[in-house]
Amino acid sequence: MSAQRVVIGIDSSTQSAKAVAVDVDSGAVVGEGRAPHAVTSGAGRESDPVQWWQALCAAVEGTGHAASAAAVSVGGQQHGLVTLDAAGAPVRPALLWNDVRSAGQAASLAGEYGADVLAERTGSVPTAAFTISKWLWLCENEPDRAARVAAVRLPHDYLTERLTGEAVTDRGDASGTGWWTPQGYDTELLRGVGLDPAVLPRVVSGLAGTVRAGGPLAEGTPVAAGTGDNMAAALGLGLEPGTPVLSLGTSGTVYAVTRGRPQDPTGTVAGFADALGNWLPLACTLNCTQAIDKIAELLGRDREAVEPGGTAVVLPYLDGERTPNLPHAAGLLYGLRHDTTAGQVLQAAYDGAAHSLLAALDDVLRAGGEQPDPGVPLLLIGGGARGTAWRETIRRLSGRPVLVPAAAELVALGAAAQAAALLTGEAPDEVSRRWGTARGELLEPLPRDTESAERIAATLPRAGQLFTAP
C-alpha cells in the first residue's frame, strides 16, 4: 500500500491565514489551521506583512502535516501593495485592496492615458483597489518611503518569497496590478509611474521554488507559483468556462472563467487573467458580509432576522464603493415610512449589497466573450453562502438556480490543487474536478424580484450626487 500524499494549500486573506492539508488522491481535507490578521480601520486599510508570515506559519502548523507535506502553494488577497527595502523588510504597512485613498490617482491615470487605452493594454481600468494606483499614492504622499523601496510585491508574492527566497508571482495575481499585459510587464507604463521593472517579481507558472530553512515546512518541499484569491477559488472549483460565480466575503465578487480576453473601458469589469491560460473577468464590491453584519449590529438584530416587504433602499457603502465606482461614498438609507420595520431595513441592506454584483453578472460574461445563460446555475461561495438570508436574497434578485458547493475554504483548496498538480502532472483545475469540490446543494430558481431591483437602480444616482471627491 502506497503512503498517503498530502499537500497544503494556504489562503492569506484580509482577515486571516487559513491552511488546509489535502489528500492528493482522494481530495479529503485531513487537517486545517487558522490564524488571524490585524487590519487598521483609520484613514485607510493597512496590514503589516510580517504578521501575514507569522499567521501563515501558525496556520500551516495547525494542519498537523507541516513536516510531511509533499508540496505547498499560497493564494492571497489581490492588489495589496507590499513595499520592501534593500534588506527585504517592509518599508511600511501594506496598502490593502480596500484602501480607497488612491481614488484620485486612479482617476488621474485614466485621464492621462485614457480608459480605453488602459483597458486594451492591461485589461482593466484601474480603480483605487489596483496596485498601480496605490504606488502613485505612496509616491505622492510618502516620497521618502517610496525612495527606499527596493522591491514591490503582492501579498501572495511576499509569502511565496518568504517560503522559497524566490522573487516570483503568477499571471493571475499580476493581472490585478494595472501594469501587467499578456506580453509581460508594460515597461512604458511603469516608466510613467516611476517604477523600475527590476523591482518586480518574475512571472512564472508551475513550480516557484522549494522551501528554504527557517519556515514551518520541511526544507526542500516544492512550492507552486500560487495566485490571487479569486483565481485560486476558480481553481478550487475546477471552474469551466462560462459558469458564473458569486462570492460573498469581506468583499463581494462575481466572475467567470472565459476563453476571450476581457477589455471593459467602463471599468465595471476587471479584465484579470486566470491562473492557467484563460481569463477571469470580475466585478467587485467593497461592501459585502462585513457591511451587512455592521448594519445588523446597528439595528440590534441577528443577521438572519430579515423581514420581507417595505419600500426602503439601503446602499451599504460603508467603506466607499468600487462597483459602482463611488470611492468616497458612505452608507445611504432612503425611502423610510412609518410602517417600515427594522427587519425590512436589514433585508434592504442585503438587497443593496447583492444588487451591484448581480447587475454586473451579464457584463462579466460578455466581457470574456461568453453568452449569458440564465439556466446555468450560479455558484454561490464565500462565508455568506452559508447564511439563509444571503441565499434567499441572491435567489430572489437573480431569478437563477443557485448551486452552493459543500466544500469550504475554496481559495485554500485551489492552492492545494496547484500544489497537487506539481506531483501528479495534471492541470490544477483538473485536480479539483477529480476531487469533486464543486458538488453541493442545488437551489431551484425563484421568480425574479424586478420591483426591488428597479427601486435600487433608481436610487443609485442619488448616491453619485451626494458623494463625490472631497
pLDDT band at residue 251 under the 50/70/90 scheme: confident
pLDDT tens profile 275-320? 999 999 999 998 999 999 999 999 999 999 999 999 999 999 998 8
pLDDT single digits (tens) 72-122:
999 999 999 999 999 999 999 999 999 989 999 999 999 999 999 999 999
Is residue 229 part of the annotated active site? The answer reads yes
* pLDDT on residue 442: 97
Whether the model pTM is above 0.95: no
More confident residue, 104 or 2: 104
Q: Write a three-state SS string for the chain.
A: CCCCCEEEEEEECCCEEEEEEEECCCCCEEEEEEEECCCCCCCCCEECHHHHHHHHHHHHHHCCCCCCCCEEEEEECCCCEEEECCCCCECCCEECCCCCCCHHHHHHHHHHHCHHHHHHHHCCCCCCCCHHHHHHHHHHHCHHHHHCCCEEECHHHHHHHHHHCCCEECHHHHCCCCCEECCEECHHHHHHCCCCHHHCCEECCCEEEECCCCCCCCCCCEEECCEEHHHHHHHHCCCCCCCCEEEECCCEEEECCECCCCCCCCCCCEEEECCCCCEEEEEEECCCHHHHHHHHHHHCCCCCCCCCCCCCEEECCECEECCCCECCCCCEEECCCCCCCHHHHHHHHHHHHHHHHHHCHHHHHHHCCCCCCCCCCEEEECHHHHCHHHHHHHHHHHCCCEEEECCCCHHHHHHHHHHHHHHHCCCHHHHHHHHCCCCEEEECCCCCCHHHHHHHHHHHHHHHHHCCCC
Q: Among the options 229, 274, 351, 363, which is catalytic? A: 229
Closest CA to 403 of 361, 445, 442: 442
User: Exposed, middle or buried, 365 (CB in 10 Å: 0-12/13-18/19+)?
Assistant: buried
Mean pLDDT of the chain: 95
Q: Per residue in 128-184, pLDDT tens?
A: 999 999 999 999 999 999 999 999 999 999 999 999 999 999 999 999 999 999 999
Q: How confident is the model at residue 326 (pLDDT cuts 50, 70, 90)?
A: confident
The predicted pLDDT at position 256 comes to: 96
pLDDT recorded at residue 468: 67
Question: Percent of the chain scored above 90 by pLDDT?
Answer: 89
Asked whether the CA dihedral 19, 24, 26, 27 is positive or negative, the reply is positive
- The pLDDT tens digits of the residues spanning 371-406 come to 888 889 999 999 999 999 999 999 999 999 999 999
Average pLDDT estimate for 11-21: 96
Q: Is the pLDDT of residue 449 over 90?
A: yes
Give the model confidence (pLDDT) of 214-244 as tens digits. 999 999 999 999 999 999 999 999 999 999 9
Lowest mean pLDDT among 39-48, 106-115, 200-209, 460-469: 460-469
pLDDT band, very low/low/confident/very high, at 1 (cuts 50, 70, 90): very low
**2: pLDDT confidence band, cut at 50, 70 and 90?**
low
Q: Is the confidence at residue 16, as pLDDT, over 60?
A: yes
Beta-strand pair 279-285/270-273: antiparallel
Q: Tell me the pLDDT tens digit for each residue of 37-71.
A: 999 877 799 999 999 999 999 999 999 999 999 99
Find out whether 125 and 265 touch, Cβ atoms under 8 Å.
yes
